[in-house]
Chains A and B, each alone.
Chain A
Amino acid sequence: MPFGKKVQNKFKNITDTNLLLMITIVVFFAMYIGAILFQGKGFLKPQTFFNILNANASLIILSCGMSLVMITGGIDISVGGVTALVSMCCAVYLDFHGGSLFVAILIALAIGLAFGLVQGFLVAYLDIQPFIVTLAGMFFARGMTTIVNTTPFNVANESFVALKDTRIYVPGFGSVNKLGKYVPAYIEVGVVVALLTVIILFCVLRWTSQGRKFYAVGGNSQSALMLGINVRKTKFLSHLICGLLAGIGGFVYFMHVGSGSASHASGMEMNAIASSIIGGTMLTGGVGNIIGTFFGVLSLSTIQNIVSSAGLDQAWWTGITIAAMLCLFLVVQSVVIARKKKTLKNS
């Protein structure tokens, strides 16, 4: 077969998941390279990239959970609220009750699990729409955050501050700053947690049977039922894992900001959804890739960086750019779906 034909066949056989993933990765690299070319200076430093990871470790974890739920055909908009609640509860526990760091982590996990449990039960076993259940969950979490403690405050607990300020130095990526000092590149503890989450979740979805079940239920729950998959249990599990990840992500967020406040993580659930969509997860379910979500988060953050380094007011321009990207990706997704339907009809 001539070489051109071979390449064309390869392209034809790409599944939709892979196609969307490729688009995401291409867009991210295009943006980053563009940033380096046009804004230069700051973007050439590897620390810039590491700062993106540092600032968004919690978003990565939350988006992974969100992607999982979306792949299974549902949605969870309570993750931002849970993050804020976890931050506030841990902050209050550490400072007002003088607790230990280990117990604080357990509290974070417990809160996340509790939300996942209740929401999963209501969605899977009572057949209530996930949107309304998680909307109520978000309301509840935000309200409870204020009830737990009304005013925002910074945590002074020593062991926590030590953990917060821990830097893991990455050898070889440092740079020389204006004063002539060599500053080594570093990442925070949260980034390690985030990367582990991405890898573990990716492996589960790709190579375990439960992972396949998530895709099957999201793709077509009727056929999944007929295949003998326990649809209810799968949906319940997806919400449970999302809740647990929200708890973990909440603690990572808490480690990054070091304070408890009712206005933390506001809008984070929307960022998680946007990242997932940009990363190639389809809302209708059955299609999605954790690696894509990871790049989606990076793309979102790169936009913010580009906007602020261009001197534009980050607060307003970021919103518009993210919305434009979201629009673009949604349109691409719907075109892909329409094409899929057509090929199904033709075959």
Chain B
Amino acid sequence: MKKTILIIISFAIAALCIVAFVHGKDTISLYDTEEAQETISNESIVIGFSQLGAESDWRSANTESMKTTFSAENGYELLFEDGQQKQSNQITAIRTFIQQEVDYIVLAPVTETGWDTVLQEAKDAGVPVIIVDRMVDVSDDTLFTCWVGSDFGLEGKKAAGWLEQYLAKKEIAAEDIHIVNIQGTIGASAQIGRTKSLEEAAEKNGWDLLAEVPGDFTQAKGREVMKELLCQYENINVVYCENDNEAFGAIEAIEGAGKTVGSNIDKGEIMVISFDGVKEKAMTYVLDGKISCIAECNPLQGPRVQAIINLLERGGTPDKFYYVDEGFFSADETVEKVTVDGKEYEVTLLTQEIIDERKNEFNA
């Protein structure tokens, strides 16, 4: 008798769990039939978004942008999956989206390779795939509809170009520059582009590139590797951080070791160059002189993806690659313009007004 009760109780608890879940979602009640579900999905466009993780402020701003753009009020249903930095999670997410018959798949891939199989499955199922932020390296370009993101190589070239001009104007010899590169997650397009630009510039100018260490785009890792680098090398004077969070960590480590951060390399300060420029804290650091310059990386990709989806809904064909417009910030007046590949980019002199404007825009 007791055993029967036990069985019934476990059954009840399990059923209760499921019911609790579904009610938590607040869309489907116990009495809705499948037809009702169909009508709901016909009204709103279902989008499956596989985000790669939540490692940095940029990533959080990017996720937030997508969530606010594709909200229920705007007529969308967004299925959001956090891949937690693992490709296998993202592949599973895409397969689930295909199963759930979403209308569009948006993918922010954690690495460049390894997507051929699953993108082929999406293509066979007739679901368009839009890639955001990082690139995918596939053998067949038709496996994805289009790509929206930043030109990471250009960002890196802007930063390296700024450094080159700064050194020229301050008359500091190239041989005296000892740079360490705190890289992002290895294999990410952002890391590949920014690292390549630095390596090319270092070779061209004769800078001493001491080390390149991965910092995973996080503050904690940036601090950890900076500490180790400071122990290993006595003469570091420039730190090239591939995102703001790494820069925060590096600055903590440098100040914790008793050194000063700043642009005056000849006075023994250590210069920090960074990317992204999303959080107010990063911009404030630039104003304070702690970060010498930031190459902007725009995370607000939601509206751009929305425009592409609207185009596809109307039956149009979008361009293959959409590059986002980005700026370059510094509080140091030494360099006014940076020339990359024949094109001139203005260096925006940072003021408190600009920071407040951006705060409203990014809600940072």
Interface contact A40-B34, CB-CB below 8 Å: yes
Which chain B residues numbered 4 to 29 have a C-beta less than 8 Å away from chain A? 4, 6-7, 10-11, 13-15, 17-19, 21-22, 24-25, 28
Interface magnitude class on chain A: 35 or more
Check B231 for interface membership: any CB of A closer than 8 A. no
Check A17 for interface membership: any CB of B closer than 8 A. no
Quick one: which of B21, B84, B95 has the most chain A CB within 10 A? B21
C-alpha gap A274/B135 in the complex (Å): 37
With known contacts A177-B101, A258-B114, A259-B87, A38–B126 Cβ distance under 8 A:
no
**Closest residue of A by beta carbon distance from B12:** A30
**Closest residue of B by beta carbon distance from A180:** B126
Chain B residues with CB under 8 Å of chain A are 1-4, 6-7, 10-11, 13-15, 17-19, 21-22, 24-25, 28, 30, 34, 37, 77-89, 91-93, 95-96, 99-101, 111, 113-114, 117, 124-127, 186-187
Chain A residues with CB under 8 Å of chain B are 8, 11-12, 14, 19, 22-23, 26-27, 30-31, 34-35, 38-42, 45, 47-48, 51, 55, 151-154, 164-165, 177-179, 181, 183, 256-259, 263-264, 305-316, 321, 324-325, 328, 332, 335, 339
B113 to chain A, nearest CB (A): 4
Q: List 16 A-B contacts (CB under 8 A).
A: A11-B3, A27-B10, A34-B15, A38-B19, A42-B96, A152-B186, A183-B125, A258-B117, A263-B85, A306-B18, A311-B25, A313-B81, A314-B81, A315-B89, A321-B21, A328-B13
List 14 additional contacts besides A178-B101, A263-B85; criterion CB under 8 Å.
A11-B1, A19-B6, A19-B7, A26-B7, A34-B15, A38-B18, A38-B28, A40-B37, A41-B101, A42-B96, A258-B114, A311-B77, A311-B80, A315-B84
With known contacts A22-B7, A257-B88, A258-B114, A42–B21 Cβ distance under 8 A:
no
Interface contact B10-A305, CB-CB below 8 Å: no
A10 to chain B, nearest CB (A): 10
**3 A-B pairs with the lowest CB-CB distances in the bound complex, closest first:** A34-B18, A179-B126, A154-B114
B93: which A residues are within 8 A, CB to CB? 308, 314
A42: which B residues are within 8 A, CB to CB? 96, 99-101
A154: which B residues are within 8 A, CB to CB? 111, 113-114
A306: which B residues are within 8 A, CB to CB? 18, 21
B77: which A residues are within 8 A, CB to CB? 311
**Closest residue of A by beta carbon distance from B33:** A40
B2: which A residues are within 8 A, CB to CB? 339
C-alpha gap A263/B3 in the complex (Å): 43
A263: which B residues are within 8 A, CB to CB? 85-86
C-alpha gap A40/B41 in the complex (Å): 12
Select A34's contact among B19, B92, B126, beta carbons within 8 Å: B19
**Closest residue of B by beta carbon distance from A22:** B7
Select A305's contact among B17, B96, B113, B114, beta carbons within 8 Å: B96
Interface contact B37-A315, CB-CB below 8 Å: no
B25 to chain A, nearest CB (A): 5
A294 to chain B, nearest CB (A): 18
